[in-house]
Amino acid sequence: MPDQPYNAVVLTEQHTHLVAPVSRKSQYGARPQASMELSAEYVVGLVELVIYLLGAGLLSGVGLYIESIAYGLYLAGDVTVALWVAALGVLTLYMGIYAVGITEALPRVQAVRSEQ
């Protein structure tokens, strides 16, 4: 008994024979192995997207926290240190919002949305 199903049984007067085997395709027309590779690639893209979004959010949150420390230092009268800490906070906010968020995460979000 063959392991692949056949399209049809053709009956003639002299012979009964089977027609070529049916290929095992998924409902989308691709072989299951190819669709598994495609879905694995899609999952990897989603994992990268989540990592970039978490990184952007974490950097932005740390930047806001550093800015609040700088404001507290300013209110305490330590202006020089407050300016240095504020500069560090601005740099961290830049990294979170622009460097990771806009240049890395946003194009990946757009790519995932276009694949759906």
**Residues of the domain holding 96:** 43-116
Residues 73-94 have pLDDT tens digits of: 999 999 999 999 999 999 999 9
Name the domain count of the chain.
1
User: What's the mean pLDDT in 10-16?
Assistant: 53
Model confidence at 72, in pLDDT bands (50, 70, 90)? very high
Domain assignment present for 75: yes
Q: Residue 24: name the closest of 5, 43, 49 by CA.
A: 5
Domain assignment present for 103: yes
Residues 18-58 have pLDDT tens digits of: 555 555 555 555 555 555 566 888 888 889 999 999 999 99
Helix pair angle (32-76, 79-94), 10° resolution = 170
